[in-house]
Amino acid sequence: NNHLVDTNSASQKLLFNQRNKNHKSRSIDFAFTRDYLQGSRFNVQKEPWKFGVQGGFFVVRPNHNIFQEMVSIILQGNYDKANGGWSKLNYGGFWGASQIQGLFSYYYGEINPTVAFELDRCRYNTMVDDPPRYSTKNNNGECRTGTFNCEDCRETPLEQMLSVHLTTCWKPWHCPLIKYPHPERCKDVHHKWFGFRKSLELSW
């Protein structure tokens, strides 16, 4: 699949290249997307892998050792909300930082980065969101993903979206498109959702 890797996001590539220069290959135990749009209260502009993992979607290969390591990290309780989050290394400062979105970001960014794989945010678990830039002035600020060019997920063709996280577009059963302005692609996503719902009802 040409859209498996987020070619516009350099975060996991930068992390892997910096810490694992001698690795020729790796086994993938964790596939995920990041919530770049939410940002962080801490300065992570040069370390984009410290943004939160999107907790609404991830794929995990069961691994008892990794599970026990995460349990140990949680029991240690080494999280400081005001001073850098997990281990005070700036894994925090966003929604869910003390929970799964921050824990996964910390573990797969700091403890075990060689087994994590970041997916294309506009095609997997897409929020149909605008480009996550540090500065929105003239829409040409540096991208939070670690590259200057930011893909606009609002313009990604519907047929290339493999899964959608209904946050920016809101929940279709609330009929938000009638009440508030939304990106045009949200209308396509909601239309698709209602089509699936209708087909389910007919199958009953």
Give me the sign of the Cα torsion angle 86, 91, 97, 102: negative
The gap from C-alpha 97 to its chain's centroid, in whole angstroms, comes to 13
Residue 138 is predicted with a pLDDT of 55
DSSP one-letter string for 99-159: THHHHHHHIIIII-GGGEEEB-TTTSSB--PPP-BS--GGG-SPBTTSSS----GGGS-GG
Tens digit of pLDDT at every position of the chain (204 positions):
333 444 444 555 555 555 554 445 568 999 999 999 888 999 898 899 999 999 989 999 999 999 999 999 999 999 999 999 999 999 999 999 999 999 999 999 999 999 999 999 999 999 999 888 877 665 567 888 887 778 899 999 999 999 999 988 999 999 998 888 888 999 999 999 999 999 999 999
3-state class (DSSP) for residue 80: strand
Strand partners, 34: 53
Tell me if 58 sits within 8 A of 30, measured CB to CB: yes
Residue 25 is predicted with a pLDDT of 52
Residue 131 is predicted with a pLDDT of 82
**Most distant CA pair in the chain: distance in Å?**
55
Residue 134 is predicted with a pLDDT of 79
Residue 6 is predicted with a pLDDT of 46
